[in-house]
Copies of this chain bind each other. A is one copy, B any other.
Amino acid sequence: MESFLGGWKPLIEQRVKSDIEIAQEATLKPIQEIADQLGLTEDDWEPYGRYKAKVSAHTLKRLQNNPDGKVVLVTSINPTPAGEGKSTVTVGLGQALNRIGKKTVIALREPSLGPSMGMKGGAAGGGYSQVVPMEDINLHFTGDIHAITTANNALSAMIDNHIHQGNALDIDQRRIVWKRVLDMNDRALRNIVVGLGGPANGVPREDSFDITVASEIMAILCLSTDIDDLKSRLSKMVIAYNHSKEPITVSDLGVQGALALLLKDAIHPNLVQTLENTPAFVHGGPFANIAHGCNSVIATKMASKLGDYVVTEAGFGADLGAEKFLDIKTRAGGIDPSAVVIVVTVRALKMHGGLAKDELKNEDLEALKRGMVNVEKHIETIKTFGLPYVVAINHFVHDTDAEVQYVQDWCNKNDHPVAVAKVWADGGAGGEALAKEVVEAIENGKKDFKHIYDLDTTIEEKIQTIVKKVYGGSGVEFSSKALKQLREFKEQGWGNLPVCMAKTQYSLSDDPKKTGRPSDFTIHVRELKASIGAGFIVAITGTVMTMPGLPKKPAALNMDVDNDGLVSGLF
């Protein structure tokens, strides 16, 4: 049966021509078959087109006595412009585990549409390790992100309307911390003034739009365990302060029910498949800087109830994504991870060894050697969390045998489990070696999982712990503003929340230029942000961008769809 919505087939055929014959032989199964394969009944799920479905969050109740599958987290070294391919390895590993007889379900993040208008490139794997229908997943998909945009902006409208209608809560319009959002790269909306035009048109004030995935509502959707938890978290969101500097929350406005209603479909995980028909949940995609950057707790838990193995990912490198997964998401969802895969690429390691992007084509074992310190640090971190791990060398076509061998030898010499993953080129078949190492690590590796900090330490202590144990830094410097906030947040009773670090992903330090493994550095905490609904305190270091801009030649200029619905220029 052809799909006129999404039209994945034409797209894939077209990629064949433009992108080394990817997925040429792939035949998607109707989503009904994928659901059947997972043992889902027709009451558990609803179709969105022929190749997508939403699986009811309530299904978790029915499955509660199923044993939990092994959760494998895919993370990476500090990313570089050379690319690491974490999503591709996640998909490839999931496919490979199935090939070696382990019933595996993948749990990925849902990509944001906005950035795809700017830069070419999807966010659902690559090559023969993709989730499909890829162009749907990268565009409107099942509407989750649009629902979050709507809920976020309904709240904004309620706040401004409350002030306009008399401001019974005494909201200080200079201290509204709730921002509007759009799923769009639009720098002109970073700093705006709203409410102009006289008394009939609201109260003038400074405001700002973030990209939707930066909304606290996205973080909440991804950490909630059910609708009640979602609503409870929404009600706690701090939207502003009154003139006595007391926090005003959503429950003060009384609109948590309306916001939850707007999210009543978005909370259900989306089920799709990979090019090799491995079931994949693609659900939720909060920013990895001011939020925790992992897919939803509900999707991960559902995957673990439906599969013997779950392969999931977290944003950025292990210093950010894995730390937040292990300290925030596992706590919120009661998730017990079994192993971690640390993705490296020869190209990225060479950048950590000091090469520039245009020098990566040539074999350079010395640069590679220098760059190994980056993965070394992340391995230490994962060991500190007490989890078994495997280093996955994500193979790129131009990597030389000597380079790949060097990384393998280094791992072997230091007793680090390692495997080469040719999943982009060969799909699941190219990931079987990795899959076997992962199974071996889970079955025979040492596991003693512990969080890196206790919740009952202070915010300051938690940050110090992360900086020293995860980043390898020497200490933390708080700005005077941050120090003031530390006191205020403690007074508010928020001191026992976990910390969500917002730091550059390019370095273990807060200076993106410091690649490799910097030492003797200090992390500068500029400001804190109270995401009380999400349930964490964001510590902002350096500049954090929450609304991207478009480049000089946006990718949109090349996009098209013909009269038969065939898409071009999207990837």
Chain A contact residues, CB within 8 Å of chain B: 1-7, 42-43, 46-50, 54, 56, 58, 113, 117, 139-140, 143, 146-147, 149-150, 153-154, 156-158, 160-161, 164-166, 182-197, 200-203, 207, 226-228, 231, 254-255, 257-258, 260-262, 264-265, 268, 549-550, 552, 554, 556-565, 567-570
Besides A46-B50, A189-B194, A260-B561, 20 new A-B residue pairs in contact (Cβ under 8 A), listed by A number: A1-B43, A4-B58, A5-B46, A47-B48, A117-B154, A140-B143, A143-B143, A149-B149, A153-B184, A158-B550, A160-B186, A160-B187, A160-B188, A190-B201, A192-B192, A192-B196, A228-B563, A254-B557, A257-B558, A258-B557
Docked pose: A268 CA to B564 CA in angstroms: 12
Chain B neighbourhood of A183, CB < 8 A: 150
Chain B neighbourhood of A556, CB < 8 A: 154, 158, 255, 257-258
Docked pose: A260 CA to B560 CA in angstroms: 7
Q: Are B189 and A563 in contact (CB under 8 A)?
A: no
Known contacts A43-B2, A58-B565, A255-B556; is-contact A195 B184 (Cβ 8 Å): no
Copies of this protein chain in the complex:
2
Q: Are B161 and A554 in contact (CB under 8 A)?
A: yes
Q: Are B3 and A262 in contact (CB under 8 A)?
A: no
- 10 A-B pairs with C-beta separation under 8 A: A4-B43, A4-B268, A6-B265, A156-B188, A188-B207, A192-B193, A193-B193, A228-B562, A231-B561, A257-B559
Docked pose: A42 CA to B4 CA in angstroms: 11
Chain B neighbourhood of A568, CB < 8 A: 257
**Which of B203, B231, B265 contacts A140 (CB under 8 A)?**
B265
Q: Are B187 and A161 in contact (CB under 8 A)?
A: yes
**Interchain nearest-CB distance for A377 vs B (Å):** 32
Docked pose: A207 CA to B207 CA in angstroms: 14
Q: Are B150 and A184 in contact (CB under 8 A)?
A: yes
Chain B neighbourhood of A166, CB < 8 A: 552
Docked pose: A558 CA to B256 CA in angstroms: 10
Q: Across the two chains, which residue of chain B brings its CB closest to A154?
A: B117
**Interchain nearest-CB distance for A218 vs B (Å):** 15
Chain B neighbourhood of A567, CB < 8 A: 261, 264
Chain B neighbourhood of A156, CB < 8 A: 186, 188
Docked pose: A143 CA to B550 CA in angstroms: 25
